[in-house]
Structure 1
Amino acid sequence: MLGLGKPRSILGKWIDKHGVSQTDLCEESGVNKETISDLCKDSERKPQKKTAGRIVAALNRLVPGTNVCARDFWQ
């Protein structure tokens, strides 16, 4: 079960809800696994603009029919 008992950020909750693994997101976005892991558990952590763009583009490819943007996860 994804996310069981772990603190989750908005991004972490979103990928859990949509069945996307951190490994899949890492591979699709080209973003380091440690960075993805930190962003999925730490609500205070904000990625650089380029990294956020890569993550969002990967999410939109991994979950057809979605149209997320960086503001959905990071203010």
Structure 2
Amino acid sequence: MLWGGKPRSRFGKWLDKNEINQIELERASKLSSGTVSKLCNDKQYRPKLATIHKLNKGLGKIGKNIDVEDFFC
């Protein structure tokens, strides 16, 4: 959990571990705050392929090249 709030998804925990905040990810990936929030907090959320592509591209912009499909498949 983060700050005693909602439990984080595996992706949310990975962001926390790598000290990437959600706002930074929103800006780099051009995803909405609602989408990034779901990615980070909703363990049941399965993003569309287009969202995964934007996420990968955004993470690349901030120097984190991972395969985010590992988190959502």
Gaps (5+ residues) in structure 1?
Answer: none
Q: TM-score scaled to structure 1, two decimals? A: 0.83
Aligned to 1:37: 37
In the other structure, the counterpart of 1:49 is 49
- Over the aligned positions, Cα root-mean-square deviation in angstroms equals 1.3
Give the equivalent residue in structure 2 for 1:4. 3
Could you say what secondary structure the match of 1:58 adopts?
A: helix
Counterpart amino acid of residue 11 in structure 2:
L
Deviation at 1:60, TM superposition (A): 2.7
With structure 2 as the length reference, what TM-score do the two structures score?
0.85
- Using the TM superposition, give the Cα deviation of residue 73 of structure 1 relative to its aligned residue in structure 2, in angstroms: 1.1
Q: In 1, are the aligned partners of 2:52 and 2:69 still within 8 Å (CA)?
A: no
Percent identity reads 34
Q: Does 1:73 align with 2:71?
A: yes
Q: Structure 2, unaligned stretches of length 5 or more? A: none
